Structures are given as structure tokens and as C-alpha cells.
Amino acid sequence: MLDPRAPGVVAADAARVAALALAEDGIADVTSRVTIAEGQHGVGVIEGRAPLVVAGQAYADAVVAACGLDPVTWSVADGDHLGTPTVLGTIRGPLRAILRAERPLLNLLQRACGIATMTRQYVDAVAGTGCRVLHTRKTTPGLRTFEVAAVLSGGGALHRTDLATTLMVKDNHWQALRASGRTIADALAEAAAGGVTGLQVEVESIEQLDEAVGAGATRLLIDNQTPETVASWAARARAVRPTLEIEATGGITLATIRAYALAGADFVSTGALTHSVAAADLGLEIR
């Protein structure tokens, strides 16, 4: 996956996703054909019905473009935090085309805004600590760029987006190393020699922590531990390598994230931002 912040990446992905979303609805709308006169025009108003953080505008724009409509006239921008009720934007044009765009547009906006809204809650929970909130690879297949872009709109930070860009040793990799008689130092040295940067290692014990620190890991992922354990392990690791990054992960919730930030985590990652999010309450009204 390419970095959603890079020029053109989101626009290209939005066009791809919009085409897939519209294809799911088939090539004709038999209901609109018999209820809406050919050439009849209208205005569609995208409304937020509950507080939310805006995200996914490029994907909505791609849907209306694929339907032959003029761009959405937005009243808000990605990242804006809105109260309710709020008009996000308007669509003008042939009514049949507006209604063809309606459901794919809302499906994408509702999910993107839901992700951004939840992300903002996590970001707000660690305000003032310096800790950054990260997504994971627990994303909907085919929609990773879309969902990660929504996390960024909510104030989250970019984490590993694919298997090619960052080394991350996890529990199954540890097991494979042991089974082959190799060490974490062997793996990290080989990666560094090959030009890989960002040597991240997940640790589940003091023994793994000490081995990873000694092997030259640049970030430790402390998995499924209490805030107190994170604080203790972070202090132990930083006594050897003061600049070592610490990431807490595994079962961290909105209620517990601040405790992990205060324990010394530079980052907290949670799959909940993309796999357990509620859709934002949006609608499109014809006026």
C-alpha cells in the first residue's frame, strides 16, 4: 500500500473503490427509471445526524464523478469535528444520477467518518502526553488506503501499511527463529544489511525484551501487558537505549489508553479503529 499522504494516492484509490461500489448496484436503476422523469434535476443534501469527524470526501467525490455529476459542494473539510445536525455538502444534477450515487456515497462516508470519529476519541484521550495513536493492518480487504486515510483524518498517525515497508517481528516470527536455531540478532542484522529501516520487534517477556534491545531493534511493541508492566519494561529498555521507541498494543481500549500513554508509551496501536467502528449517522435528502 502506498502512503495515503503522497500526492495522487487517495484520488487513484478513490476512483478504484467508487467503480467497485457502483458496480455492485448493477448497470440500471429500474425504480428511478419509472419514477423520475428523464432530465429531471434536483439537489441532494448530505446531512450529518450525530456529532462526527469528517473523512472520506475524496471517495464521495469519486462516486459522484463516476455518475457523471458535478463535484460535491462541500461545507466542511476532512478532519473537521461537527455537531448535529450539520450539512456536509450538496450535490446538484440529474436526479437519477444523484440517487444512483446516494447509497455508495453514503456507505463510504459513513464508514470513513465513523473511523475518523473513533480515532479522534482515542487521540483526545491521550492529549498532552505526546503519545500517538496508530492503526494496524486489521483493515477491510481492498479498503486499506481508504480506512487508513480516515484514521489520519481523525488525527491518528501512520503505522505499517504493508509487509514490504517495515520489519515487524511478531510472536510467530519468534517461534520460527527458535525452530531454525537463529536469533533475533541474526534477523535484524540481515534486514539492516538489506537496507530495511524501522526494525520493530514485538515482545511478550523480559527475555524477549532484552534480546531485542541487544539486537538493535528501533522500536519495541509491548503486547498484552498492563500499564504498570509497560512502564517497567520501557524503563529497563531505555536504560540501555534511551532513544528506543516504545509502542503498547493488544487489547487497549478508550478507557485504558491514557494509562498506557502515561506509562511511557510513545505509540499505542489498536485494531479497533478499523475493525470495530460504528458507522456515522449520515443521510442524503433531496430538495
120 catalytic residue (yes or no): no
138 catalytic residue (yes or no): yes
d(CA 80, CA 98): 25
153 phi and psi angles, rounded to 5 deg: -65, -30
Tell me the three state secondary structure of residue 132. strand
25 catalytic residue (yes or no): no
Q: Which candidate in 16, 92, 137, 170 is catalytic? A: 170
d(CA 45, CA 92): 9
223 catalytic residue (yes or no): yes
Decide: 50 and 283 in contact? Cβ < 8 Å. Answer: no
228 catalytic residue (yes or no): no
Q: Which candidate in 103, 137, 238, 241 is catalytic? A: 103
d(CA 97, CA 86): 23
CB atoms within 10 A of CB 47: 16
Q: Which candidate in 223, 238, 266, 281 is catalytic? A: 223
Q: Which candidate in 13, 61, 102, 202 is catalytic? A: 202
Q: Which candidate in 16, 92, 138, 238 is catalytic? A: 138
Strand segments (E) across the chain:
41-48, 52-53, 73-74, 81-82, 86-94, 132-134, 167-169, 199-203, 219-223, 245-249, 267-269, 282-286
d(CA 9, CA 4): 6
d(CA 255, CA 262): 13
Nearest by Cα to 126 from 165, 154, 88, 86? 154
Positions marked catalytic: 103, 138, 170, 202, 223
